Amino acid sequence: MQTKRSKYAAIWNLLKEKHYCLIACNNDTKETIRKAIIKRKDTDKVFKQSRMRDWRLDINIKKDSLIEFRLVPPISKLTVEDI
C-alpha cells in the first residue's frame, strides 16, 4: 500500500534546503498552509535529528496574498555556512 504524500511536503523540503520560501496564496488559505508547515516541522523525524533541530521557524502572513517562511538558526550556533 502506497502512502499519500502531503501537498505541503514540497514547501517543507524547499524550506529545509534553502531556509527561505515565499508563497503566493489566497488569503483564505494562509492559516491552513501555516499550520501544515508547522506540523511538517514538528513531525519530521530526520529534521529533529539534524543539526538544524534547534532552528526557529519564522512565518510572516502580514503581506497580502503572500506567506513567507524562514528557518533561522539560533545565534549561538551560527556557522560560516549559515551566513
pLDDT digits (tens, 9 = 90+) for 47-70: 999 988 889 999 999 999 999 999
Q: Which residues pair with 56 in a beta bridge?
A: 72
Q: Tell me: pLDDT of 77 over 80.
A: no
pLDDT band at 28 (very low <50, low <70, confident <90, very high): very high
- 55 φ, ψ (degrees, to nearest 5): -70, 145
Q: Is residue 70 a part of any domain in this protein?
A: yes
19 part of a folded domain: yes
Q: Is residue 4 part of a domain?
A: no
Residue-range definition of the domain harbouring residue 66: 9-82
What number is the average pLDDT over the span 32-42?
A: 95
**74: pLDDT strictly greater than 70:** yes
On whether residue 1 sits in a domain, the answer given is no
Strands (DSSP E) found in 1-83: 20-24, 56-60, 66-72
In a domain, 22, yes or no: yes
Of residues 3 and 80, the one with the higher pLDDT is: 80
The answer to whether residue 3 sits within a structural domain is: no
pLDDT (0 to 100) of residue 76: 77
C-alpha span between 25 and 5 (Å, rounded): 20
- What total of structural domains would you count in the chain? 1
